[in-house]
Amino acid sequence: MIIAVPVDEMEENSPVCISFGRAPFYLIFDDEEKKFDYFDNNSAFNAQGGAGIKAAQSLVDRNVDIVITFRCGENASKVLNGKAKIYKAEKVNAKMNIEMFIAGNLQLLNKVSPGLHGHSVQGEK
Amino acid sequence: MKIAVLSGKGGTGKTFVSVNLVNSTENTDYYDCDVEEPNGDLFFQSKLIQELPVKVLLPSFDKEKCNACHECVDACSFNALALIGKDMLLFESICHSCGVCSFVCKQKAISEVPKQTGVIKIGKAGDSKVVTGKLNMGEAIGVPVISGVLDLMDEDRNSIIDCPPGSACSVVESTQKADYCLIVAEPTSFGFHNFKMVEQLARVLKKPFAVVVNKAESKNNIVSSYCKKNKIKVLDTFLFNRKIAQDNSRGEICTSVDDKMKARFISLLDNINDDWQRSLK
Amino acid sequence: MKKILILSGKGGTGKTTVAASLIEYLNSKTIADCDVDAPNLHLLLKVKNPVEKDFIGSKKALIDVDKCISCGLCAEKCRFDAIHSFGSSYKVDEISCEGCTMCSLVCPAGAVSFYDDKSGTLQKYTAPYDFSTACLKLGRGNSGKLVSEVKRNMVIKNTEEYAVLDGSPGIGCPVIASISGVDWVLLVAEPTLSGFSDLKRIVSTAKAFDLNMALCVNKSDINMKITNEIIDYCKDEGVYYLGLIPYDKAVLKALKSCKLIINVPSEAGNALRNVFKEFKQVLENEN
């Protein structure tokens, strides 16, 4: 299982970033290999628009199964739909959030923030 | 002559001035570019001659031809596309209809299909053409509707372009084809602050311009002083008049019932014409 | 914390005037001016010395005259009519360019590059209010993105009860950006044919979002017939009707000296106080 967390710094003890789309980095944890990895989210961070969509696309491309985040926009959640489950982050660092998830102590993120342009999306499955 | 009537701040009287200019003079047509909230035709109550849909192109994906190479997603500057396996998601309201995705697709799997974002109504009121652009609710970008409205201007008649408030891209689109800008200014602190922004815009767009002061308490006011100091022409000053405000609220055109006002608007158009001719030399 | 956004549809109905007085009445310290095209709230709030930050709206194209071979393909393919011939080469109009990169994709000479366009300035005041605002550069698009940035710059403290956001006229991109995520929309309506027509469009637009709406009619005595039609409309649309504010010359006087109308003993000032009293009840009952 691959778990992703938006982070402020490229390290396990980093706080979870409050933004999903404009997080500077993403921490990727491979549950089987027990490895921490990171990617630079700069293309979404610097995007003129659709940052959430871009970040979500990067996660889908990396076959992420679980995303732990404080918030997720409507557009980004449409991209993740069916591919990754979204859990609500707690106010502890990224590594601890992952541990909490594995122990079954995190809740699913129910409330999705309405999009800037939350209107029509073509091609929904 | 194509005259763009703009203001910066909303509610200063762009529509009041535009409608009365058209109503008082011959050979003049009205173009409503305030496509989010068009109001001019509430006054003209024009007879509808034609309705034209405004469409933008959106990409359409052929799943059979798609090889999921991801190039279109990467090429989109607006992040309007996402690829999930072989399923393409298009976020319509972010799409700018630029055509890049279709261009980069080596499999020719992307074609472009029209989507309606607004409508243009063409009507007749007396001898004037009344053209109204209306953006569909929920659509974010009015520029294609504005562009469609302005394409209908006649070269051999005067066109009065009623612009949106503000100074952003929709205002720029509305004024691009104008020969002259008439700025309607309200002499309040808000009105004055926003007036200076559109004055700057007129200068940046290199359009000759002049000012009409509306809803003033007196002829000497914060806008008139500024204009005097900066050698900007004030072509007329309309004092706040409760009766006109009340008639206006009911959709009545004051120059249809008030000959003095009609004369003023005829004068206004003549003055604009003179000023414009001078600027051409 | 409840986020309240002031909207109207039509421009000039009195949003900013009402917003400034509402901030005072609710003692709100967390505020934003989302009218980035024509921001005015700071004029009434006596704030100074904001911290400013550049806002990068989008990338814009730039043609290198030395590399350009004048084939004109860029101008031909540009959907935004942003490229025109210029001397012996071609030039990009920075106002019309949307940064889509089509020109660079078709250019056979690699003459097109992109730069970050500074489309505006974000401003943050910290005392006596946490006040986030911005100014969009002339002629720019991306007002929606800038509004989102203004909102992101607000510091939402759960110890504070109310945040007040001054909105912009219209129903398009910047308005939609301002509506997203707010709890309440306070509509300032004007009893004119135009004002009522525009009101209906903004109500339809706002209804797509999960929020509550309340309304007051400003300059109500200009046309009582339409004022009453608006009150009936509120009932039909589930919008809380809060009251009327008559046209009052005292408002102009107050604005001239940058005074808040609820602090001026006047017909309009008193009426506005009553509207806010009603609004506060509605806000508290909503719990």
How many helices (H) and strands (E) in chain A? 4, 6
pLDDT at C173: 78
Q: Find chain C residues with C-beta within 8 A of B15's C-beta.
A: 194
Model's pTM, two decimal places?
0.84
pLDDT tens digits, B198-208:
898 899 889 99
Query: Pick from B183, B164, B178, B137: which is nearest to B32 by CA?
Result: B164
Is B135 part of the contact surface with chain C (CB cutoff 8 Å)? yes
Q: What is the mean pLDDT of residues A84-112?
A: 92
CB-based contact, B10 to chain C, within 8 Å? yes
CA distance B141 to chain A (A): 11
**C276, C258 Cβ separation under 8 angstroms:** no
Q: For residue A124, report the phi and psi dihedrals to the nearest 5 degrees.
A: -70, 140
CB within 8 Å: A49 and C145? yes
* Pair B6, B210: CB distance under 8 Å: no
Whether the per-residue pLDDT at B210 is higher than 90: the answer is: yes
pLDDT given at position C41: 93
Give residues with Cβ within 8 angstroms of A105, minimum separation 6: none
Pairing of strands B28-32, C89-92: unpaired
Which chain A residues are within 8 Å of C148, Cβ to Cβ?
116
* pLDDT score at A71: 84
**Tens of pLDDT along B14-65?**
999 999 999 999 999 999 999 988 999 999 999 999 999 999 999 999 999 9
The predicted pLDDT at position B70 comes to: 93
Q: Encode pLDDT of B154-199 as tens digits.
A: 999 999 999 998 888 889 899 989 999 999 999 988 889 889 988 9
Helices (H) and strands (E) in chain C, counts: 10, 11
Q: How many secondary structure helices (H) and strands (E) does chain B include?
A: 10, 11
Mean residue pLDDT across chain A? 87
Q: Which of B41, B40, B44, B36 is nearest to B164 (CA)?
A: B36
| Nearest residue, CB atoms, B172 vs list C95, C144, C256 | C95
Residue-level pLDDT at A119: 43
Q: Kindly state the average pLDDT of the residues C225-241.
A: 96
> For a pLDDT cut of 90, what percent of chain B falls above it?
79
pLDDT band of residue B276 (cuts 50, 70, 90) is very high
- Chain B positions touching A44 (Cβ under 8 A) are 79
ipTM: 0.84
pLDDT at C149 over 70: yes
Note the pLDDT of residue B86. Answer: 84
Residue B69: other Cβ atoms inside 10 A? 14
Contacts of A113 in chain C (CB under 8 A): 180-181
Whether chain C has a CB inside 8 Å of the CB on B79: the answer is no
For C177, nearest residue in chain A (alpha carbons): A116
**pLDDT band with cut points at 50, 70 and 90 for residue C112:** very high
Strands (E), chain C: 2-7, 30-33, 51-63, 83-86, 89-92, 112-125, 130-136, 162-166, 184-189, 212-218, 240-245
Cα angle B215, B220, B224; round to 5: 80
Whether A113 contacts chain C with CB within 8 A: yes
φ, ψ of residue B60 to 5 degrees: the values are -130, 135
Q: Are B101 and B117 in contact (CB under 8 A)?
A: no
Look at residue A115 in the predicted model and tell me its pLDDT: 53
Q: Do A82 and B84 touch (CB under 8 A)?
A: yes
Percent of chain C with pLDDT over 90: 66
Query: Does the distance separating the beta carbons of A49 and C180 come in below 8 Å?
Result: no
Write down the residue that tokens 């309009």 correspond to: C268
Interface touch A113/C144, C-beta < 8 Å: no
Asked whether the beta carbons of residue A53 and residue B82 sit closer than 8 angstroms, the reply is yes
Cβ contacts of A48 on chain B, cutoff 8 Å: 77-78
* Chains B & C: contacts with CB separation below 8 Å: 170
